[in-house]
Structure 1
Amino acid sequence: MGLSGESQAAYHYTTTRCEWEFYIIVTHTSGPTGRRVLSDKHKERRVGDSREMVELITSNPSALGSLVTCDESWIYCYDPETKRQSSQWKQFDFPQTQKGQAEPELFKSGRWHLHQDNAPVHSSILVTNYLTEMGVKAVPHPPYSPDLVPCNFWLFLKLKENLRGSRFEDIEEMKEAVTRVLDIFTLEDYEGACKKWLECYNKCTEVGGSYCKGN
């Protein structure tokens, strides 16, 4: 993934509760974030892609279950708690991490669509040619649209909220903690995120492609 330096590593996690894949980049430092000033062309693209996704999802009740979404995020080896969190007593009963889980049947069937943003690691010619060669069907995603990515508006927020205040001595310890947190999410949690995803597309269309407050 073009990473360098001893403090960085690529970590791949797959959950069998829902057919989603998550790619998480763990590192000591934070990557660039933030929204862009959208041009009229960008807003038009956001509206068009949002409408296409709404049509795909609403026209087929099982469409959401066939979408595989992925993204990357940055995780600190130490991220201090907020004042609110430090005043709360917390204890998590993490389930034992299961290793060697079987590949979900959805992936074997080929009846799924890939959703990812337009980061260079996703949109390079090498990647697009490989996806075409493998017959992977991709759904549209407009540029500069982190508010339309479930990992951004739900998963990473929840993940980092649970990890905040923890210290990790090395990458392996961090990976184990990330996996434990991801394992506590329920099917209802994922279904709620999918519902929110559809709401985000509808909001984007309603406001003419501008960023939606709260997304």
Structure 2
Amino acid sequence: MKVQRKDMCPQLLERYNAEREASLQCILTGDESWVHYYDPECIAQSIEYRHKTSPSPRKFKVVASARKILFTVFWDMEGVVHMEFLEQGQTVNSERYISTLRALKLRLRRVRHDKDSILQHDNARPHTSRQTHHALRQLELTTLPHPAHSPDLAPSDYYLFPQLKKYQKGHHYDNDEEVIADVRRWCRGQSSEFFADGVRQLVKRWRLCVDRNGYYVEK
């Protein structure tokens, strides 16, 4: 059954009004994003150097976009709980995502001491398949309803990934290991307040969604 934005946001706000911060502390949000070997800071940087007799220059980003790694992260108001990086040539399917969920469950036991957590993830096919739903029940992972096509209500999309990409602007990486090490270093360098701020912004976005009768919330 599809979740409607205009129905979900009032319910979440009602819970927040009753429980306040406690209703946010249990949210465990997760998502995936591509991390590039190089993302230029400006247009000038994105132009490859060419001799005056060379063909018309092309943007370096076209080349860089072919060199990337998929970053998967789950986090809450305290910080990152679990992160993974997809090997070159692999894809995220139901089997792979279930493996990730199992690793996430182990991490929750270790770093959150089985604190009650409600998983928030989007409606990508690997997240909503029958196999994944079965695995979620087995792992006793409760999920938070999330409408389709709603990155504006997903903290990773509107907060964490933009902050990470802003930091990485202009950085060069030669291989996957360098990308992974820098992303891990950046995530571990953020304070708990940084992550808490990202989750707290959900309240404002839920309210805007209600005020706009379910329409998309701009940045």
TM range (shorter): 0.5 to 0.7
Contact 2:24 2:199 in 1 (8 A): yes
SS at match of 1:51: helix
Contact 2:24 2:200 in 1 (8 A): no
TM-score under structure 1 length normalisation: 0.66
TM-score under structure 2 length normalisation: 0.65
Q: Which has the larger radius of gyration?
A: 2
Query: Which residue pairs with 1:25 in the alignment?
Result: none
Deviation per residue, 1:18-64 (Å, 9 max, x gap): xxxxxxxxxxxxxxxxxxxxxxxx8x810111122222333223121
Deviation per residue, 1:120-168 (Å, 9 max, x gap): 1211111111101222111100011010000011100000110111111
Structure 1 residue 84: deviation in Å? 11
Query: Which residue pairs with 1:157 in the alignment?
Result: 162
Query: Which residue pairs with 1:45 in the alignment?
Result: 4
Query: Which residue pairs with 1:70 in the alignment?
Result: 30
Query: Which residue pairs with 1:185 in the alignment?
Result: 190
For the aligned residues, what is the CA RMSD?
2.5
Evaluate the alpha carbon distance shift between residue 84 and residue 46 of structure 1 in structure 2; reply closer, same or farther with a 3 A threshold: farther
User: Which amino acid is 1:130 matched to?
Assistant: A
Unaligned ranges ≥5, structure 1: 1-41, 86-101
Deviation per residue, 1:87-117 (Å, 9 max, x gap): xxxxxxxxxxxxxxx9456743251111111
| Residue of 118, 141, 146 corresponding to 1:141 | 146
Structure 1 CA distance for aligned equivalents of residues 187 and 170 of structure 2: 17
Structure 1 residue 198: deviation in Å? 1.1
User: Which amino acid is 2:145 matched to?
Assistant: P
Structure 1 CA distance for aligned equivalents of residues 11 and 145 of structure 2: 8
Contact 1:71 1:116 in 2 (8 A): yes
Deviates more, 1:167-176 or 1:46-55: 46-55
Query: Which residue pairs with 2:114 in the alignment?
Result: 109
Structure 1 CA distance for aligned equivalents of residues 171 and 36 of structure 2: 9
Unaligned ranges ≥5, structure 2: 46-105
Structure 2 CA distance for aligned equivalents of residues 56 and 107 of structure 1: 23
Residues matched between the structures, number: 157
| Residue of 59, 79, 86 corresponding to 2:39 | 79
Q: Percent identity?
A: 26
Structure 1 residue 182: deviation in Å? 1.2
| Residue of 39, 51, 56 corresponding to 2:15 | 56
User: Which amino acid is 1:76 matched to?
Assistant: H
Structure 2 CA distance for aligned equivalents of residues 113 and 137 of structure 1: 5
Which has a greater percent of helix? 2
Query: Which residue pairs with 1:212 in the alignment?
Result: 217
Query: Which residue pairs with 2:99 in the alignment?
Result: none
SS at match of 1:62: helix
